[in-house]
Chain A
Amino acid sequence: MDADRIGRALTRIAHEIVERNKSVDGLAFVGIRTRGDHLARRLAAAVNGITGGNVPRGALDITLYRDDLMRTAVGPQPLVRRTDIPFSIDDRAILLVDDVLYTGRTIRAALDALIDFGRPRSIQLVVLVDRGHRELPIKADYVGKNIPTSAAESVQVRVQESDGCDEVVLQQESAR
């Protein structure tokens, strides 16, 4: 996917969000750091552009909730970044945003983390790419593009804000 197609996918998702949620009041975006956070920022802008509303947005770091933390034999700890959700999630419909949906483990961690912040009315999942191979019973509500992959491949999402360009590329695992 190039920058243009990513942009169109995000615009389409924004429209779907507005359609499916009768009112944007009570909606809030929470992006999973780091690329989900950038995508959430763009989606929020798009939704606000369509509706003229002002949907709040937060960033979630799920490192401390990862299920592989402390399971690897010995080694450096993954970097923890700041979680920043400057609003109460109680009774809101949360749009949880990530770049790639794969095994579902990141989303499981994010759901656990979100619940520690309160009791949202609902949580909807937004991903730019769904590459299949789920290991947990998790399904996205909004998908930019389904990309069938093999386990030997990896999907790299790059976004302007952290990588200097917008693109989605498929790589052989060994090529990384």
Chain B
Amino acid sequence: MTPASTTPGVAAPPETTTLRGKDLLGIADLSPAEISLVLDTAEAMKEIASRPIKKVPALRGKTVVNLFFEPSTRTRTSFEIAEKRLSADTLNLAIASSSVAKGETLADTALTLEAMRPDMIVLRHSSSGAGHLLSRICRSAIINAGDGMHEHPTQALLDAFTIRERKGRIAGLKVAIVGDLLHSRVLRSNLHLLTKLGAEAWICGPPTLIPPDVARFGVRATSRVEEAVDGADVIMLLRIQLERMQGAYFPSLREYFNVFGMTRARVRLAKPDAIVMHPGPMNRGVEIASEVADGPDSVILEQVANGVAVRMAVLYLLAGGAEHEEAA
């Protein structure tokens, strides 16, 4: 039976029950209400993982292609589990086994896949905007699983889910993000999300790794890690990549750890109940000390668990297609 019309004043209905777009390319495209819808849906999805049979028939008969042009174990596995828990048929295409090595363009790879009529394509690619290109070519819903330095929307959503679960809210929290900001798609997605939901975002790293003009995002940038974590509710660390030393972004990993590494002493500057997050994979002893990674404030493994629920929510919400696409 259909839910009856609700009487005003009782059990407030959600602000939106649908995502407007056909795809999820970035948090930049989502409204605060849409973000809340994903997080609320993810809450329902999270319960499924606690059942003896961790599978629901929601996406039965839907085909999802995981098209990964960059090696990724965590994100791909997380999506694959999410797809399987929703009973979708999944297909994994990794760069090594794809025809890109034979000189095929991304557009041709996408068109070839599209001819087999998948319903959704989960795309990981080293070029910013690769998802936008696919979106213009494909009828399938495109879910961005990380494009270059641009966005990694499901990571930001699972971060937000984890923060909300721990803190009960996101608005008004001080979130300090420390690490390689310049090259990070996780940063960009999180900046969009945190500012949309009203958090006070601080970013911190060496000036060489702070994106130009980032203040226009509405965030505070600093190279003093003590200032960034001071009184923070959430400390979010970003991975430092070894090869950045070659680009002369900083002199050595050791020096980076000395100046920016998240140690217990630095965590103590944050609120007593602050949580420490990391999207993984971690470089212990570079951006994070092991005592912090494995410490009581770390929610890093919760992030991984929540990733599955958030991705189930995104897959479910996009599987219906967008209303305005009907004519297409």
Contact = CB atoms under 8 A, between A and B. Distances in A.
A and B in contact, CB less than 8 Å: yes
Which of A99, A106, A113, A116 lies at the interface centre, i.e. has the most chain B CB atoms within 10 A of its CB? A116
Nearest to B53: A116
What is the size category of the interface that chain B forms with chain A?
Answer: 35 or more
A98 B4 CA distance: 13
Contacts of A79: 14, 17, 41
Contacts of A39: none
Interface in A89-142: 98-100, 102, 106, 112-113, 116-118
B6 A74 contact: no
Interface in A146-163: 156-158, 161-163
B10 A164 contact: yes
B10 A69 contact: no
A65 B56 contact: yes
A117 B52 contact: yes
A35 B2 CA distance: 11
B323 A74 contact: yes
Given A80-B41, A81-B44, A163 B6 contact: yes
A52 interface: no
B296 interface: no
A172 to B, nearest CB: 15
Interface string B108-133: 00000000000000000000000000
A116 B55 contact: yes
A11 interface: no
A76 B323 contact: yes
A102 B322 contact: no
Interface in B281-328: 313, 316-317, 319-323, 325-326
Given A118-B52, A157-B4, A80 B11 contact: no
A73 B326 contact: yes
A20 interface: no
Contacts of B51: 116-117
B213 to A, nearest CB: 37
A64 interface: yes
Contacts of B103: none
A156 B4 contact: yes
B47 A82 contact: yes
A77 interface: yes
B265 interface: no
B225 interface: no
Contacts of A48: none
Contacts of A82: 43-44, 47
Interface string A59-83: 0010111000110111111111111
Interface stretch (B59-67, B145-153, B190-198, B227-235): B59-67
B57 interface: yes
B325 A162 contact: no
A159 B321 CA distance: 33
B56 A116 contact: yes
B247 to A, nearest CB: 44
Contacts of A22: none
Interface of A: 34-35, 61, 63-65, 69-70, 72-84, 98-100, 102, 106, 112-113, 116-118, 156-158, 161-165, 176
17 contacts: A34-B11, A35-B4, A64-B58, A64-B316, A65-B58, A70-B59, A73-B326, A74-B323, A75-B320, A99-B1, A100-B1, A106-B1, A116-B51, A117-B52, A157-B4, A161-B10, A161-B11
